[in-house]
Amino acid sequence: MAWNKISAICLISIVIMLALPTVSATKTTITELKSTISSFDDPRMNAEDLAFYLVTHEFDAQPKGDYVEVGLQDRTCKLTPNGPAPGLCTIAF
């Protein structure tokens, strides 16, 4: 009887672990970031919109007032929306 309960608990634990999504930011290079922000242009985009856009493209981005912080492999970048200028934003390190 005890083995049945232990087996059921183990089986349920395995199913739960397999069902949980793996969290990872796969895009972590400056080249990938530059490619993503240069492929699209929106003069009305603000910092929150930019952060949302980057997160949906698998970047670790958070809005911080009028700019966005993006965590890359070994550094954090500050991205400021461009407005009417080409590209989505400017990058500062």
The fraction of the chain above a pLDDT of 90, given in percent, is: 45
pTM for the model: 0.69
Whether residue 1 is predicted with pLDDT greater than 70 in this model: the reply is: no
Whether residue 55 is predicted with pLDDT greater than 50 in this model: the reply is: yes
Q: Are the beta carbons of 51 and 41 closer than 8 angstroms? A: no
Q: Which of 61, 62, 67 is nearest to 47 (CA)?
A: 67
Over residues 8-52, the pLDDT tens digits come to: 777 777 777 667 654 444 567 899 999 999 888 889 999 999 999
Provide the 3-class DSSP secondary structure of residue 82. coil
